[in-house]
Structure 1
Amino acid sequence: MLQDSFNRKFSYLRLSVTEVCNFKCNYCLPDGYQCDSRPKTLNVEQLRILVAAFAKAGTEKIRLTGGEPTLRRDLPEIITMCRQTSGIHTVALTTNGYRLLDKLPRLVDSGLTNLNLSADSLNPHTFAQITGSNSLKEVLACVDKALTLGIKKVKLNAVLLKQYNGRELQQFLNYIKDKAVSFRFIELMQTGDNQAYFSEQHVRGETLKQQLLTSGWRVLPKEPNAGPAEEFYHPNYAGTIGLIMPYSKDFCASCNRLRVSADGKLHLCLFGEANDDLMPWIANQDIEGLKLHLSSSVLSKWQGHQLHNGNAGLTKQLAMLGG
């Protein structure tokens, strides 16, 4: 398994399949996706080489992200390819859920095991204010459809925003009272393009954590290949709560994931200062060579991000790498 110089092991790949997004979330792309030329993306065969190399290097879980991954018409083929790769046990998808309802059965048939949907508010008006879309009803319908189809893990993601959903905790809790899903609250992160917005909207996840603990919520042990969320359960609730708190102490100590952008660049950290072009090995279909290169590259992964110092590295906005 890939291992860095701090003895962290990496079994989880977040793979962006497009940087294009069809939402205008005010914390990410308030003006919508902007591009002067056709974005470069790896095709299915190129992705196969990439995934095979990661699998040989010990990767067991792949999360397909964007931008918005459902904009790829060949997403079912990408999911099938990932599930058919020896060593890959989990294929997850992070999506805004827009026009996903009819596509979901085919994605499950293709091998999708886990699903994360964005739901930054359960109030339709607030949801539309944040995302620029009136699709909350469809997103929530996708949750029920996913559970019916037998998807192993269904999660909803909400970015904590002081002036939008900062006072909606009870509404979120009511939703998971009888529904066996996880609601994950993500602490707003500063990027290259959102400094003013960050200052206005940032809410410390630690504040929400203390609210949960004083209300009888208890910490859940982390599962293998789990993401960065601290998970909480309550005996009176069917669902669980997750908190992703990048500004918390030792957040990076348990890092277990690497990221590859839609154009085939390895990012050792979401907020790193550099990327590594993997196309020479992909173009040559050199799976073994790429595996060795990954093993070498991960040794240069630094101990933690520099968000505390206001440094977001190369990340201008989260659509670049899907968070």
Structure 2
Amino acid sequence: MRNELIDPFNRKIEYVRVSVTDLCNYRCGYCMPEQGVHPDGHHKEYLSYEELARIIKVFTKLGVSKIRLTGGEPLVRKRLHELVEMIKPYEGLEDIALSTNAHYLDREAEALVKAGVNRCNISIDSLRPQRFKNITRGGDLEKVLAGVDKALEVGMKPVKFNMVVMKGTNDDEIEAMVDYGIEKGVEVRFIETMPIGPAGVSMMDQHYAAEKILKRIKAHVGADLLPSTDRSDAGPARNFHIAGTNARIGVISAVSNHFCDTCNRVRLTARGVLALCLGQEDSVDLRSPLRDGVSDEELEQIIIAAIAKKPERHFFRENVHNIEFRQMVQLGG
């Protein structure tokens, strides 16, 4: 029987988001500055795949059953499927997921699925090529949509779209994104802007509330939105079936209606920092003890002690212009 990670508020930690890099080939305004996070090019501090795999193995011994590989953009790190192959055999690991901008997914999807990736979330904030290029500061919508098609072709399931809704920028595409999701058989999740890092804080004047999004979707589809209670929906999104169809949508209302009471996750950055909350500074360095030669048992105790420090909630609404200690791109979303 495996141990369990229980935080001070009786929440069971079953899910770790693992950032493999904080580099990204896109520069979405809510996520990172135009020059990137580390324009000086010093990237030697990243955990190796072997180090990441070792930490993940300890987490699985402690009851974690889901790993999501994130970035930055995870597919800018070469041969990501090799990390997946390392961790796939771990006992108790039920789900290996990917979050990506899909720019390179057409090239990588088949190898990732063969290695053990089950599902993916794709960031896509516009279906208009020039607007998409503007939002991402240079992104190529055609390559992203090719990545979507490839993910579906090789059997990633589910494939979900993540659309950050920005007032005055792309909020006029909510209905079009719903239609595209229905056409592709893909669940679309609409995300409120979040005040994380200077980049995120700078975008908060474009915040668009989840309840307004739901109201518009309901009017557009002309049907009720029925709350979904599938186990696979466990996470921050409120998920809905569109009545009379197989289509699903979700909203992530991190600012207007937080979901902290059911938080079941922590985040491991590419540089080995265990971030305990998306909106708080609480974190623990795992890289240093790892490289100093701690045993797996000692690493296990460090992680258990870290979870005991997990805060109850973020304060996005209360401190909407003060959360500037980390960029979103460094946390893996």
Q: Same fold (TM over 0.5)?
A: yes
What is the aligned partner in structure 2 of residue 295 from structure 1?
304
Q: After alignment, is 193-202 or 148-157 more displaced? A: 193-202
Aligned to 2:11: 8
Taking the TM superposition and a 5 Å limit, the aligned residue runs for 1:1-323 are 1-35=4-38, 36-39=40-43, 40-194=45-199, 197-213=202-218, 215=222, 216-223=224-231, 226-283=234-291, 284=293, 286-310=295-319, 313=323, 315-323=325-333
Please report how far the alpha carbon of residue 316 of structure 1 lies from its aligned counterpart in structure 2 after TM superposition: 3.1
SS of residue in 2 equivalent to 1:304: coil
Maintained 8 Å contact 1:191/1:318: yes
Q: Which runs of 4+ in 1 moved over 4 A?
A: 311-315
Q: Is the 8 A contact 1:23 1:32 kept in 2?
A: no
**Cα contact 2:71–2:329 (8 A) shared by 1:** yes
Classify 1:29/1:316 alpha carbon distance in 2 versus 1 (closer, same or farther; 3 Å).
Answer: same
Secondary structure of the corresponding residue to residue 97 of structure 2: strand
Structure 1 residues 96, 32: CA separation in 2 closer, same or farther (over 3 Å shift)? farther
Letter in 1 for 2:194: M
Q: How many angstroms does 1:146 deviate by? A: 1.4
Q: What is the Cα deviation at residue 186 of structure 1? A: 1.0
Shifted more, 236-245 versus 159-168: the winner is 236-245
In structure 2, the gaps of 5 or more residues are none
TM-score, structure 2 as length reference: 0.91
2:218 and 2:124 mapped to 1: Cα distance?
23
Cα RMSD of the aligned pairs, angstroms, is 1.9
Aligned equivalents of 1:195 and 1:115: distance in 2?
Answer: 23
- Using the TM superposition, name which of 62-71 and 25-34 deviates more: 25-34
The answer on whether the counterparts of 2:29 and 2:203 sit within 8 Å (CA) in structure 1 is: no
Deviation at residue 7 of structure 1 after TM alignment: 0.7
Count of aligned pairs between the two proteins: 323
Please state how far the C-alpha of 1:172 moved relative to its aligned partner: 0.9
SS at the partner of 2:121?
A: strand
Please say if residues 101 and 141 of structure 1, whose CA atoms lie closer than 8 Å, have aligned partners that are also in contact: yes
Cα shift at 1:12:
0.4
* Cα drift, residue 141 of structure 1: 2.0
Distance 1:188 1:293 in 2: 33
Tell me the SS of whatever aligns to 1:292: helix
Whole-angstrom distance in 2 between the partners of 1:256 and 1:182: 22
Which secondary structure state, in structure 1, belongs to the residue aligned with residue 122 of structure 2? Answer: strand
Structure 1 gap ranges (5+): none
- 8 Å CA contact 2:201–2:323 kept in 1: the answer is no
Q: Which sits farther off after the overlay, 46-55 or 247-256?
A: 247-256
**What's the TM-score once normalised by structure 1's chain length?**
0.93
